[in-house]
Amino acid sequence: MELLEAIVDGMNYWIFIILMMIGLYAMITKNNLVKKLIGMSIFQTAILLFYISLGVKEGATIPILPHYYAHTSQEEQGNLVGSSDQAHAGKEASSATEGGKEKPSVAHAGSPKIDPNRFTNPLPHVLMLTAIVVGVSTLGVALSITQKLYTEFGTIEENEILDQLKSGDD
């Protein structure tokens, strides 16, 4: 049971490790160069998955601040929230209008109450955008090398290429 719990708790880690190992296996054992590259892609994607899962929080939303959070004074905020989301913000709106004059500095400092637990961490996602670009270009370069190999050897099977290299000297 404990083992099962450990697996379920760290589900994202298990999945990324399994994917990574599948990729590594393909890269090492496959004879076909394109299959090796598919393995490479899986390997890199596993790492993307790992990073993405780092930023996830339960019950959190995408980290986009509504415009009024960041740019309006607290009083207007209260009204806006009140009009849009009555059930939740009704109390808040009334308290905000009551206490609006007492603590306007909080609103003007540009840091209204943002609960970090309500938003996913955007940084790993941004990092992975870069890593995706890098991964795609790696794949592109590797594929074009494969193409060059095909024009030079007439095959993309690794053992046949090695045989040709052994028999012919260049």
Partner 1 sequence: MIDQAPAIVLLAPFLTAVLVVLVGMKYERACFPLVVLGLCCSAAAAVQTLLQVIEAGTLRYSMGGWPPPFGIEFRIDGLNALVALTVSTVALISAVYSKNRVPEENGDKISIYYTLLLLVVTWLLGMVMTGDAFNLYVLLEVSALTSYALIAMGTRRATVAAFKYAIMGTIGASFYLLGVGYLYIKTGSLNMFDIHEVLVAENLHQSTTVLVAFILITVGVWIKMAFFPLHAWLPNSYAFAPTTTSCLLGPLVTKVMVYVMIRMMLTVFDPLYTYLQLNWGNIVVWMAVIAILAGSLAALAQTDLRRMLAFLIVAEVGYMVGGVWLANTAGLVGAIYHLIADVFMTLCVFLFAGIVFAKTGKRDITATHGLFAKMPLTMAGLVVGALSLIGIPPTAGFFSKWYLIQGGMAAGHWGYVTALLISSLAMAVLFFRVFEYAFFGVKPAEGHGDHHPSGKGKFSEASASMLLPLLGTASLVLLIGIFNQSIVSIITDFVGQFNLTGSIMR
Give yes or no for residue 129 binding partner 1 (CB under 8 A): no
Among the listed ranges 2-10, 67-75, 94-102, 161-169, the one in contact with partner 1 (CB under 8 A) is 161-169
The answer to whether 36 touches 27, Cβ cutoff 8 Å, is: yes
CA distance 170 to 165: 8
Q: Please work out the total of residues on this chain that contact partner 1, with binding judged by CB under 8 A.
A: 30
Please tell me whether residue 33 binds partner 1 under the rule CB under 8 A. yes
Decide if residue 32 touches partner 1 (CB under 8 A). Answer: no
Of the CA atoms within 13 Å of residue 48, those in its CB half-sphere come to: 17
Which region among 64-72, 73-81, 109-117, 122-130 touches partner 1 (by CB under 8 A)?
Answer: 122-130
Burial 124-138 (b: 16+ CB within 10 A, else e): bbeebeebeeebeee
Distance between CA atoms of residues 71 and 91, nearest Å: 21
Residue whose CB is less far from partner 1, 97 or 138: 138
The answer to whether residue 153 forms part of the interface with partner 1 (CB under 8 A) is yes
Neighbouring CB atoms inside 10 A of 59's CB total: 6
Name the one residue in this structure whose structure tokens are 């059930």.
87
The residues that touch partner 1, with contacts defined as CB under 8 A, are: 24, 27, 33, 36, 40, 43-44, 47, 50-51, 54, 124, 127, 130-131, 134, 137-138, 141-142, 145-146, 148-149, 152-153, 161-162, 165, 170
